[in-house]
Structure 1
Amino acid sequence: MPLFRFLAVLAACFVAGPALAECRVGAFETMPERALIHLPAARSSAPMPLVMLLHGSTGTGAEMLRDSHLAETADRHGFVVVSPDGGIAAKRGYVWNIPGVLTVSGTLPPKDARDDVAYLTDLVDRLVATGCVDAKRAYLTGLSGGGRMASWLGCVAPGRFAGIAPVVGLRAGRPLGSDPMQADPATCRPSASVPLLAFSGDADTTNPIAGGGAPYWQYSQITALQRWAALNGCSNPYARNVGTTVYEQGYSRCRGGATVAARVMRGGPHNWSVVDNEAMWAFLSRHTR
C-alpha cells in the first residue's frame, strides 16, 4: 500500500484510542495496493460492518469513494468502507474482470488478467483478519461496471456478503447466448440466498433499465430482478412509490428474509445521484450472513 494511504489509515485508527484495541493497526500495512480504506469516526471495540465499494468501468476506487459520499455515511453509522481498483487497466482507470463478459472496450478480459473474484474475496478476508471487520456483516455495492461486478460476486461468492446493492448495473449472470435479452441461468447459481437492493434511473442511456445497449448489458432490469427472485425463493411481487421521484419494484416473502428490490429514480441518469445512501445502509444493515 502506498505510504500516504497507510498513514491515513494508521491515523484514523489511533484517533479511536482504547476503544479500538481489537483493531490491529499494523495489519493494514499488508493490505493489497490500490485499495482505499476508510475507518469511520464512530467506532467501538467490536468488529465493524464493511461495505465494499466498486468503481465503474475506467474509473478508480479513489474517485468512487469521493463521488459516492459513502465515507460520510460510514461516519454516521460506524461501518468500514473499502474502495479498491479493478484488475484490468483501461484508459485513465481500471475495469473489472468478469469471466466471459465483454468489458467496455468490447473485448473479453485478457487470459492473464487478475482474478477479481479471488482478489476481492481475499481482500474481505484480510480486513476481517485485522480484527476491525465483522465477517458476518460484509456488504457489497458498485456503480455501473462495479454494479455488474457486485452482481457477479452475488452469483459466485454469496457466502462472503450479507447483502448487495448494485447501482445502475444490476445483473443476474451473463446474457443467454441464444437470446441475450434473457439471463443465462447456468451462470448464476448462488449456494445461498442473496438480499438485494438495486438503484437505477429510468433516463439511463448507458445501461438502460429496459435492456439493450452494450453487449454486456442487453437484458432488462426487471429480467434480472425476476431471476434473483427465483434464486431467493420469493413469492410476492410488489410495486410502490417511495417518494415523488422514486418508485420501487421488488419481491418479498423470500427464503431467509432475502428480499429483492430495485429503486428507480424518475429521470435519473447513469451516476451515483440515483442512490439514497441512507436507504442503502438501512437495507444492508438489516442482514447478516
Structure 2
Amino acid sequence: MSIASTAHAATRCDIGAPGTTARIPIGDSGRPMLVHLPRGYDRGEALPIVFLLHGSTATGAEMLRESGLEATADTHGFILAAPDAGIPVGRGFVWNIPGVPTVTGTIPTKDDPDDVAYLTTALDWLAAEGCADDARAYVTGLSGGGRMTSWLGCVAADRFAAIAPVVGLRAGNPDADDPSRPDPATCAPAAPMPVIAFAGDADKTNPIQGGGAGYWHYTMHAAEQRWAALNGCTAAPTTRWAADGVYEERYTGCRDGADVAARITVGGGHAWVVDNDAMWAFLSAHRRADRL
C-alpha cells in the first residue's frame, strides 16, 4: 500500500454524508471500507474513530448490523469504520494474525494481505482527509475480530489509544510449549494499552475457561493478567457487578492510566454481549498522545 499523504493535511472531511454509512475507497489501497459519519457532523473537525472488526467468515456490513454501533456513533459523535478482513473464506473474510491459524485451521502466509498495514494505513488516510483524529483512534471487534483487536493492541499500541475485544480477548499467541498461557514473545506493545473486554460465561466457541480451537487455548483470565502485567498494573484486581447479570473484573494502578477491565455476562454466549455506551465511555477516556 502506498498512500502519499500527511496526517491532518486536509482541514475539511469530504467523504460520505453525516448520519449515513458509505463504502469509501481508502486511498490507493484497493480495499474500501464502510465508514459511518455521525449525525450532525460539521466536517470541519477531526473526530475520534472506532474501527469495528467483524468475526471470522463475516463482513463489515454484518458487523454493523449486529453491533448497533452506528446509533452509538450518532449519539456520542465519533466516526465508525467497518472494514472487511483480507483473506476471503466462504461468504466472508478472516483476519490475518501471523502465526495463528484461522477458523479454517490454516496459518496465514506471507502472501496473504497484511491487515495491520491496511488498518493503520486507513487510519493515516482518514486523518489526512481531515476526518479522523489519530490520537483518538480505537478498535473493537467480535470473535475473530476480537482476536484481531487484541493483536493490534500487541503490535500497534503506538497507533491506537485503547482496545475493546468482544468474545476474543487474547494477549499474544498460545505458548508452543504450554498452550495454557500466552507466549510473551508474541505480544510486546510499544506503550501501555488500555483494554476493556466483553465476554459471556456460556460461550462455547471461545470459552472464557480456555480450551477450544488452536487459536484460543488459554483462559480469558490469563489474557487479562498478561495485559495487566504488560501495563504495569500494581493494584489488586477487583470484581463488582457492573449491571444486572454482568460482572466486571478490573486491574488498576497501571502505567499511564492504562486499566484492564473485563465485563462478563452471566449466561452470555458467543455474541455481541456489549453495553455500547459503557464501551465508549472507557475508550474515549484515553488519548494516544497521553501515553507517548
Q: TM-score, normalised by structure 1?
A: 0.90
- Partners in 2 of 1:70 and 1:114 — Cα distance? 26
- What is the correspondence of 1:1-289 to structure 2 with a 5 Å cutoff? 22-25=12-15, 29-31=25-27, 32-44=30-42, 45-236=44-235, 237-272=237-272, 274-289=273-288
RMSD: 1.4
Which amino acid is 1:242 matched to? A
Query: 3-state SS of the aligned residue for 2:267?
Result: coil
| Shift in Å, 1:43 | 2.3
Query: 3-state SS of the aligned residue for 1:158?
Result: coil
| Shift in Å, 1:22 | 1.9
- Give the equivalent residue in structure 2 for 1:8: none
Deviates more, 1:175-184 or 1:243-252: 243-252
Once the two structures are superposed, residues 137-161 of structure 1 have per-residue CA deviations (whole angstroms, 9 ceiling, x without a partner) of 0000000000000000100010111
Which amino acid is 1:22 matched to? R
Contact 1:23 1:131 in 2 (8 A): yes
| Shift in Å, 1:56 | 0.2
Which amino acid is 1:127 matched to? L
- Partners in 2 of 1:25 and 1:118 — Cα distance? 21
Contact 2:50 2:137 in 1 (8 A): yes
- Partners in 1 of 2:169 and 2:50 — Cα distance? 17
Once the two structures are superposed, residues 174-225 of structure 1 have per-residue CA deviations (whole angstroms, 9 ceiling, x without a partner) of 0000010100000001010001100000000000001000010000000000
Query: Percent of aligned positions with the same letter in both sequences?
Result: 61
- Partners in 1 of 2:40 and 2:260 — Cα distance? 30
- Partners in 2 of 1:243 and 1:25 — Cα distance? 38
Which amino acid is 2:261 matched to? A
Residues 1:118 and 1:97: Cα distance change in structure 2 (over 3 Å) = same
- Partners in 2 of 1:56 and 1:247 — Cα distance? 24
Q: Runs of 4+ in structure 1 displaced over 6 angstroms?
A: none
| Shift in Å, 1:86 | 0.5
Contact 1:176 1:182 in 2 (8 A): yes
Instruction: Provide the aligned length of Structure 1 versus Structure 2.
Output: 268
- Partners in 2 of 1:221 and 1:164 — Cα distance? 15
Which amino acid is 1:139 matched to? Y
- Give the equivalent residue in structure 1 for 2:4: none
- Partners in 2 of 1:157 and 1:140 — Cα distance? 11
Contact 2:199 2:208 in 1 (8 A): yes
More helix by share: 1
Once the two structures are superposed, residues 39-58 of structure 1 have per-residue CA deviations (whole angstroms, 9 ceiling, x without a partner) of 00032432100000000000
| Shift in Å, 1:227 | 0.3
Structure 2 unaligned segments of length 5 or more: list them. Answer: 1-9, 17-23
Which amino acid is 2:269 matched to? P
- Give the equivalent residue in structure 2 for 1:13: none
Contact 1:34 1:61 in 2 (8 A): no
Once the two structures are superposed, residues 226-260 of structure 1 have per-residue CA deviations (whole angstroms, 9 ceiling, x without a partner) of 00000000012111111220001120010000100
Once the two structures are superposed, residues 30-72 of structure 1 have per-residue CA deviations (whole angstroms, 9 ceiling, x without a partner) of 5453410000003243210000000000000110011111000
Residues 1:197 and 1:30: Cα distance change in structure 2 (over 3 Å) = closer
Residues 1:162 and 1:30: Cα distance change in structure 2 (over 3 Å) = closer
Residues 1:21 and 1:98: Cα distance change in structure 2 (over 3 Å) = closer
